[in-house]
Amino acid sequence: MTPKPGRRPKPDRLVIASHNSGKVREIETLLAPFGVAVVSAAALGLPEPEETGTTFRANAELKAVAAATAAKLPALADDSGLAVRALKGAPGIYSARWGGAAKDFNLAMERVQRELGAAKDRRAQFVCALSLAWPDGFCETFEGTVDGTIVWPPRGDKGFGYDPMFVAEGARETFAEMDPDAKHAISHRADAFRKLVAAYFAA
């Protein structure tokens, strides 16, 4: 494929710049149809950079650039999280940190529910920024969202993170109850990934 202005050719091998096994599995599934060999940052023993950005985009970019530089391979990083309207967008970029040092999402979900209390507005949004970086520092970012509602108690065991407490608009099941293929069709990560595919993998 001829690269678009400012873009690079389709990468044949990618580092997935994440130590989150659930996130790595989702990205591997999304990449599977395109014949891209993938390896996780954890498998390469790459350290997790400190997420010092103030937005999903900034954190995705710093993780992608760090992994690409260290591995000398193109790297794809995801920064994503849950933004709850009644909590003024929290937990947002701190979604994982709401689970404490162990990133225990059961604790994180309990905190969301506790802070919502009796709030009637339970609207929320999952946000994803996907950044593709190259060893020379070139980086592009694609963003996606999905709107939905917070439910309690959590339901389902197929997802990860906040999936058991999130029902997307137009759905009845939480992300953790849905068949993975059904979730991949509508998720925030899939929304961002479609934009990445259009830029790098479309014919």
Is 121 a known active-site residue?
Answer: no
**Relative orientation angle of helices 21-31 and 188-200, to the nearest 10 degrees:** 40
Look up tokens 């309207």; give the residue: 85
Catalytic residue among 12, 78, 79, 163: 79
Residue 58 token pair: 């900034």
What are the DSSP calls for the chain, one per residue?
Answer: -PPPTT--PPPSEEEE----HHHHHHHHHHHGGGT-EEEETTTTTPPPPP---SSHHHHHHHHHHHHHHHHTS-EEEEEEEEEEGGGTT-BGGGTTGGGTTTT-HHHHHHHHHHHHTT-S--EEEEEEEEEEE-TTS-EEEEEEEEEEEE-SS---SSS-TTGGGEEETT-SS-TTTS-HHHHHHHSHHHHHHHHHHHHHT--
What is the set of active-site residues? 79
